[in-house]
C-alpha cells in the first residue's frame, strides 16, 4: 500500500486513540513519514578544490554547485538527494519507494550554506535558489577590509512545494566588478518538516 505524506494535523489524525482498533499499518507509516525530519547535504570535494567560479559580468547571478557540478559530492541524506548539477532536490522514492507525495505538498525547509572565499576587494551577494529562482534574504559579504579567507554561513527557511521537487542551490553575484569568485569550500544542506 502507498504511504501518503500529509501535514502535521493530518498525520496526527491518522493515529487517534485506538479505541476502535482502526489504525492500520499504512496509517502508522504515513504518519511517521510525514513527521520525520528529512535532510540532505552536498559539498564540494575538498580534494578537488579550491575552485574559481566564473563571473560573466558584474551583478550577474551564478549558480555555485552548477559551476563545479563534477566536484560536488552527496552527503548525508534522507529524502533529499543531489542531482547531476550538484544541487539538492526532494526525492522521497530514493528512501521509501511506496511514498506518495500529493500535488501541492509543501514542507518547511531550512537551507544552510557554508562558503569559504578568498578576499579580493569585491562585495559579494549570496542567495539560495529554489527552482532556479533567487530567494530572499540575500546575504552580502564585503571583502575589502579582509586579508584572510572569509568563512560565511548562509541560512534561510522556506516553504517548498516538494511534490514538484524543485532543485535547491546557492548562487552568488559580484556587485563590485566581474572578478571571478575564488572559493575554498562550499557546503549545502536542506532539512525539512511537515507544515501544520
Classified as helix, coil or strand, 134 is strand
pLDDT of residue 89: 96
Q: All domains of the chain, ordered by start, with CATH?
A: 1-35 (no CATH), 38-95+103-194 (2.60.120.760)
pLDDT value at residue 154: 95
Residue-by-residue pLDDT tens, the chain, 196 positions: 677 878 888 877 777 777 777 777 777 777 777 778 999 999 999 999 999 999 999 999 999 999 999 999 999 999 999 999 999 999 988 888 888 889 999 999 999 999 999 999 999 999 999 999 999 999 999 998 888 899 999 999 999 999 999 999 999 999 999 999 999 999 999 999 998 8
Which pLDDT belongs to residue 1?
A: 63
| Res 36: pLDDT | 83
Phi, psi torsion values for 43, nearest 5 degrees: -155, 160
Contact 167, 132 (CB under 8 A): yes
- The pTM of this model reads 0.89
180 CB contacts (<8 Å, ≥6 apart)? 52, 53, 54, 55
Respond yes or no on whether the N-terminal peptide bond of residue 172 is cis (omega within 30° of 0).
Answer: no
Distances (CA, A) of 194 to 5, 60, 185: 9, 34, 31
Amino acid at each position: 500500500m502507498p504511504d501518503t505524506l500529509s501535514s502535521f494535523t493530518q498525520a496526527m489524525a491518522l493515529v487517534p486513540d485506538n479505541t476502535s482498533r482502526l489504525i492500520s499499518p499504512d496509517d502508522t507509516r504515513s504518519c511517521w513519514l510525514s513527521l520525520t525530519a528529512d535532510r540532505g547535504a552536498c559539498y564540494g570535494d575538498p580534494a578537488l578544490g579550491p575552485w574559481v567560479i566564473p563571473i560573466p559580468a558584474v551583478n550577474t547571478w551564478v549558480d555555485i554547485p552548477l559551476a563545479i557540478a563534477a566536484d560536488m559530492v552527496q552527503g548525508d541524506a534522507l529524502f533529499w538527494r543531489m542531482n547531476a548539477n550538484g544541487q539538492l532536490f526532494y526525492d522521497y522514492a530514493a528512501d521509501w519507494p511506496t511514498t506518495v507525495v500529493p500535488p501541492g505538498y509543501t514542507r518547511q525547509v531550512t537551507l544552510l550554506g557554508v562558503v569559504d572565499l578568498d578576499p579580493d576587494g569585491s562585495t559579494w551577494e549570496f542567495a539560495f535558489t529554489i527552482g532556479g529562482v533567487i530567494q530572499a534574504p540575500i546575504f552580502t559579504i564585503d571583502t575589502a577590509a579582509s586579508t584572510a579567507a572569509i568563512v560565511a554561513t548562509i541560512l534561510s527557511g522556506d516553504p517548498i512545494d516538494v511534490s514538484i521537487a524543485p532543485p535547491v542551490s546557492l548562487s552568488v553575484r559580484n556587485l563590485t566588478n566581474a572578478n571571478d569568485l575564488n572559493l575554498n569550500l562550499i557546503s549545502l544542506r536542506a532539512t525539512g518538516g511537515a507544515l501544520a
